[in-house]
Amino acid sequence: MKSIFVFIISILILELHSSFAQESYDVNILKANMEFLASDALMGRESGTFYEELSAQFIASELKKYGVKAFGDEGSYFQSFEVLKNSMSINSTIKLMAGDGIVSTTLEPIKDFVGEIVNLNEDILASPLEMVFCGYGITDEVSGYDDYMGLDLKGKIAVVTFGIPSEKYHDNLTGVNLGRFRSPALKVQVAATAGAEAVFFVPDELLEQMWGMLAQMTTEDKFTLAGYPPEDSFFPLPALGLKMERGNEFFLEEEITFEKIKSLSGEGQKLDKFLMRKKIILDFDMVKTRGFCKNVVGLIEGLNKDEVITIGAHYDHIGKVDSEIFNGADDNASGTVAILEAARNLVSGEQLKRNVAVIFYGAEEKGLLGSRFFAGEWRDKENLIVNINIDMCGRGKVDTITVRGPLETSGELFEIVKSIDNESSMDFDLKKGLTDGMGSSDHASFAAVGIPVIDLCDDMESDLHMPTDDYDKIDYDKIGKTSTVVEKIVRKISELDHKLSRETE
Ligand SMILES: [Zn+2]
């Protein structure tokens, strides 16, 4: 009896397992969509270009084919948004003014400095500004460590080093996870909160290594959302970096030499803050234009239309640099294709209880602009119950995907994700933190307005933002499996007999 019982149970388990493992993605569709979106014909899908338009039209035509309804402006599949484009002309300079009021040094873009000149307050241009050396430029509420403590940065420039302090030299840092403070983007945000007008990074080996890429960015168009406050932006302030050869001059006659700063910060030792004797004049010649970008949006109608689940992926990439096309196969044609496939299956399956908005964000690479616009324009944030985002899902191990977001935004969502992890053929690598420290993606725009989020990402290790991110390296089963995961999460949330909780405990 026993053996027969075990046998029957085994069959049941096998059947259950195969029904859990059942996946309805179609590799041929995934492949065809990928090979179009990541082809040279689309020139890297840069926002604000004709190729963004071509990509958007293609995505809309797929949605229509699957039976997803138009959910954009005036009955269309498109939600367009205005952007301000700002670029710094190559004729711009930075002048260093010695204590005696005489300009001692003139720095030229690309040769001497690089920068991400975005959200610049133009009132500060052409006049001498004070500079404050703020050490590592880190503020940590948990440990109380604060490089900005007691400083008034209004109208001033913060000068900070790369790297992080070491627990060995800072008593109050014990037990703190310091690694995340390495992020230059975080340092810029912290400086903005402290009231600074711009951040100047002290020369560093890392900066030297990335000089070529940063030089490229220095004079290119920077996009911001028209009508939205700059302080909410992903890049709230101009960030500047100085060439190694200019380090000694920059700190000449200051309280500490460049060499000393380098050696102390290299070991994570204490760095004293000080007001610099020198002043700085940003003589930037800014070129301004306006333009439009677009999100592609569709709706899958549920029985109850009061609440909306959002699923999405950014479809833009970074275009062409010099003569090379950056096709962005994994980043993020893969997510785009996976969300399309999830939408196709959600429409063809049993009708959902709740509405699902399917969104393909434009201008993510320009600073999460499309998702910020979608979330910002949505009137009732209470009925947007969740955002599920995919940013890269076609590389790395086929059975593993990194998941971020639920831990910080909804305890109930975290439980749902764990249950799907158990029944899915994919293993979730559940991470703390909304971002990976160096960058972020569109889910952050929803989390910023209080909406629970899930971000699925393959954490691509090589080829990120390189011309080598091509579709010959893509694993279509991984994209398919990720789309199935999205479908499962949507179905589970759609079935809830209550609104998804936003409590994090
Ligand atoms: Zn991306």
Together in a domain, 277 and 309: no
Residue 331 CA to ligand 1 center (angstroms) comes to: 5
Residue 377 CA to ligand 1 center (angstroms) comes to: 22
For the segment 420-424, the average pLDDT, to the nearest whole number, is: 92
Which DSSP string corresponds to 419-451? HHHHHSSSEEEE-SSSS-SS---THHHHHTTT-
Residue 423 CA to ligand 1 center (angstroms) comes to: 28
**Confidence bin at 232 (pLDDT 50/70/90):** low
- What is the H or E stretch that residue 205 is in? helix 205-209
Residue 441 CA to ligand 1 center (angstroms) comes to: 6
**Can you give the length of the chain in residues?**
505
In degrees and rounded to multiples of 5, residue 436 shows phi and psi of: -90, 10
**Interval 455-492: pLDDT, tens:** 999 988 888 888 999 999 999 999 999 999 999 999 99
Together in a domain, 261 and 121: yes
Residue 71 CA to ligand 1 center (angstroms) comes to: 23
Together in a domain, 47 and 134: no
**C-alpha–C-alpha distance, residues 279 and 274, integer Å:** 13
Domain membership of residue 500 (yes or no) is no
Residue 332 CA to ligand 1 center (angstroms) comes to: 5
**Interval 357-411: pLDDT, tens:** 999 999 999 989 999 999 999 999 999 999 999 999 999 999 999 999 999 999 9
Together in a domain, 396 and 484: yes
Q: How far is CA 500 from the centre of its chain?
A: 25
Structural domain count of the chain: 2
At what angle are helices 50-66 and 27-37 packed, to 10 degrees?
A: 160
Please determine, for residue 18, whether its predicted confidence score (pLDDT) is greater than 60: no
Together in a domain, 68 and 151: no
CB 30 within 8 A of CB 337: yes
Half-sphere exposure of 237 (CA within 13 A, CB side): 27
Q: Which of 262, 284, 306 is the last residue of a domain?
A: 284
Cα–Cα distance list, 44 to 39, 323, 360, 433, 469 (Å) = 8, 12, 16, 29, 10
Identify any residues that bridge with 187 across adjacent strands, giving them in sequence order: none
Together in a domain, 94 and 78: no
Residue 240 CA to ligand 1 center (angstroms) comes to: 24
**C-alpha–C-alpha distance, residues 343 and 311, integer Å:** 9
Residue 306 CA to ligand 1 center (angstroms) comes to: 31
Give residues with Cβ within 8 angstroms of 148, minimum separation 6: 134, 137, 139, 158, 190, 191, 194
Together in a domain, 339 and 210: no
Residue 279 CA to ligand 1 center (angstroms) comes to: 38
Together in a domain, 170 and 59: no
What ranges make up the beta strands (E) of 303-379?
A: 304-314, 320-321, 324-325, 354-361
**Interval 133-154: pLDDT, tens:** 999 999 988 888 999 999 989 9
Domain membership of residue 253 (yes or no) is yes
Residue scoring higher pLDDT (322 or 297): 297
Together in a domain, 234 and 299: no
What pLDDT, on a 0 to 100 scale, did the predictor assign at position 182? 85
State both tokens at 20. Answer: 């859990």
CB 179 within 8 A of CB 146: no
Q: Which of 284, 313, 329 is the last residue of a domain?
A: 284
Boundaries of domain holding 470? 21-84+291-495
For the segment 181-187, the average pLDDT, to the nearest whole number, is: 86
What pLDDT, on a 0 to 100 scale, did the predictor assign at position 217? 85
Identify whether 332 is preceded by a cis peptide bond (ω within 30 of 0): yes
Candidate from 51-60, 212-221, 284-293 with smallest mean pLDDT: 212-221
Together in a domain, 259 and 318: no
Residue 39 CA to ligand 1 center (angstroms) comes to: 17
Residue 295 CA to ligand 1 center (angstroms) comes to: 15
What pLDDT, on a 0 to 100 scale, did the predictor assign at position 464? 86
Please give the radius of gyration of the chain, using alpha carbons only, rounded to the nearest integer. 25
Together in a domain, 76 and 98: no
What's at 185, amino acid-wise? A
Give residues with Cβ within 8 angstroms of 383, minimum separation 6: 306, 307, 308
Domain membership of residue 10 (yes or no) is no
Report the percent of the chain where pLDDT is more than 70: 94
Cα–Cα distance list, 411 to 78, 170, 243, 427 (Å) = 33, 34, 46, 19
Sole residue written with tokens 């109050």: 172
